[in-house]
Each structure stands twice: as C-alpha cells, then as structure tokens.
Amino acid sequence: MTDKPFGVNLTFLPTVSSPDYPGYIRAILDGGIKAVETAGNNPQKWLPALHEAGVKVIHKCTSVRHALKAESIGCDAVSVDGFECGGHPGEDDVPNFILLPRAAEELKIPFVASGGMADGRSLVAALALGAEGMNMGTRFIATREAPVHENVKQAIVAASELDTRLVMRPLRNTERVLKNAAVERLIEKERALGAALKFDDIIEEVAGVYPKIMREGAMDAGAWSCGMVAGLINDVPTVKQLIDRIMREAEEIIGQRLARFAAR
C-alpha cells in the first residue's frame, strides 16, 4: 500500500522449517525495509544479514528476561508486550504498569510499549514508564486502511474490555482472543479435557481460521487475536486521523494536565 516501506513484522515460528526464512529475509533486504520487528523465536541467526544491510531489529518480548536476552544477542531495541495485549502475552501474566518500569530498570537499549496502547493517554503513560514510544496492534486493525473485513473492525468497536478470553493456557501457548462461538467451544474443550488437552483437540478452532475471519468476515470461524484495548476503541478512523489525534491528545496532556503538576 506504499512505495516507501519502512518496517515489517517477521514471526519466527518454531513449527516452521527454517529454510523458509532466507526468502523472507531476502524480500526484506530487496524491499528497502528499514526496520523489522521479530517475534516468536530467537532471531540471532538472521541478525548479521539484517544489520549488514542497515536494518534495525526490534524483538518482541513478554518478559524482562527475554528482553535482556534480545539485548545480549544484538537486537537494536525491544517491544515489551504486557499481559493486556492481544495475541500471545507469554506465561508470566505481568501487566504493563509493572513490566515497563522493570524493563526501564534493566535494559540499556531502547524499548517501546506494547499491549493496551490506543490513544494519547497510552503514549504519555508509556513515556512516563520509561518507553521510547508505543506499539499498537488491535487499534491499527480498526482503521480504514487495514486490509481486513469490515466485520472485524466493527467487532472491535463493539467490544468492551471484558470481551477477550485467554485460550491455550494448558498448552503453555496462551493467546488473548475476542470471544465468539468458536472460542466458547475451545474453552469448553479445555475445561473438559484439562491436563490431557492436545493441540489436535482444538485444531478446528485455531488452525487456518484467519483467512475466513480477516478476509471473509466470518466472525465465528475460529479464535482470533484481540487485545483488551478494544474497550478503548470506538471508531474506525484513517491512520492519519488516528496518529494526528494521538499526538494532539498527548501534547495536551503533557502541556496542560502534567504542566499543572510541574508548576506546584
């Protein structure tokens, strides 16, 4: 959607054979990408090629220990992902009001705040807690340019902060998703099978469902990632409108509300 690409996400899946990844790396290098957010597995093998091409690598981490590991292997920055996030929040259940200042205490490289980020208040809070900025997922899905079905965007707008569920916890692959009929079936299977749960038991609810949901708008086709931040999302603006609004709100908070505290 742009002739000036600046960043992509590259998820290293442990279940995918590594020979697939050189093609992805080559596409990044040939496409003039300047920054890559890696996630899902250790990106160390690919850092030399990316760095040689001048690509900055931001690794997604859900704990301080993982962020420190990313720092030690040479990542340029990390995206610190709190328990509020959509998708995979890790297994420590630490929310951002604790995770971000802990990261600020330990890290020497820059980091951005992820999970629960939606507006100017989020940005100011992230900066106050030590981050250099914020990373938004669910909020960007509910924008006009996002290449997903309108049903997905409206589902996010209609949702409250109480409408997400955590699934796959027994498999230690926890994912925060928006509740729907498929998610309720999945949760019932988890409840019934307990420690005996296997991935094959829930494959119908989690495997290959994203094209049906994101492209076709079949909202009950399966489980799909969504953050608790849906409760703060009430519209579907353009990306420009969203960013302009965030910056305006942040500047007003810093220049007015916080300035009053500084003057005391």
Q: Which domains does the chain have, with CATH numbers?
A: 7-136 (3.20.20.70), 138-264 (3.20.20.70)
For position 14, what pLDDT does the model report? 52
pLDDT tens digits along 185-195: 999 999 999 99
Amino acid at 185: R
* pLDDT, average across residues 68-74: 98
For position 19, what pLDDT does the model report? 47
CB 100 within 8 A of CB 83: no
Q: Which of 249, 255, 238 is nearest to 122 (CA)?
A: 249
Q: Which residue has the higher pLDDT, 103 or 41?
A: 103
Averaged pLDDT of the chain: 93
Can you list the alpha helix ranges (DSSP code H) found in the chain? Answer: 21-30, 47-52, 64-73, 96-106, 120-128, 138-141, 150-158, 181-193, 203-206, 210, 239-252, 258-262
Q: How many CA atoms lie within 13 A of 108 on its CB side?
A: 6
Helix (H, G, I), strand (E, B) or coil at 39: strand
Q: Which of 26, 54, 50 is nearest to 38 (CA)?
A: 50
Q: How many CA atoms lie within 13 A of 57 on its CB side?
A: 28
pLDDT tens digits along 24-42: 888 888 888 899 999 988 8
- Ranking 16-20, 105-109, 178-182, 256-260 by mean pLDDT, the lowest is 16-20
* pLDDT, average across residues 7-11: 82
For 51-86, letters b (16+ CB in 10 Å) and e give: eeeebbbbbbbbbbebbbbbbeeebbbbbbbbbbbb
Both tokens assigned to 218 = 């079949």
CA 222/CA 182 separation, integer angstroms: 5
* pLDDT, average across residues 232-237: 98
pTM of the model: 0.91
pLDDT grade, residue 222 (50/70/90)?
Answer: very high
For position 186, what pLDDT does the model report? 98
pLDDT grade, residue 263 (50/70/90)?
Answer: confident
CA 40/CA 88 separation, integer angstroms: 9
Q: For residue 140, which phi and psi values (nearest 5 degrees)?
A: -75, -25
**pLDDT(17) > 60:** no
CA-to-CA dists, residue 134 to 23, 77, 219, angstroms: 29, 12, 28
- Ranking 5-19, 84-98, 199-213, 228-242 by mean pLDDT, the lowest is 5-19
CA 54/CA 184 separation, integer angstroms: 45
For position 1, what pLDDT does the model report? 63
**pLDDT(15) > 60:** no
Residue 100: Cβ-neighbour burial (10 angstroms; 0-12, 13-18, 19+): buried
Q: For residue 166, which phi and psi values (nearest 5 degrees)?
A: -100, 125
Q: Which residue has the higher pLDDT, 42 or 125?
A: 125
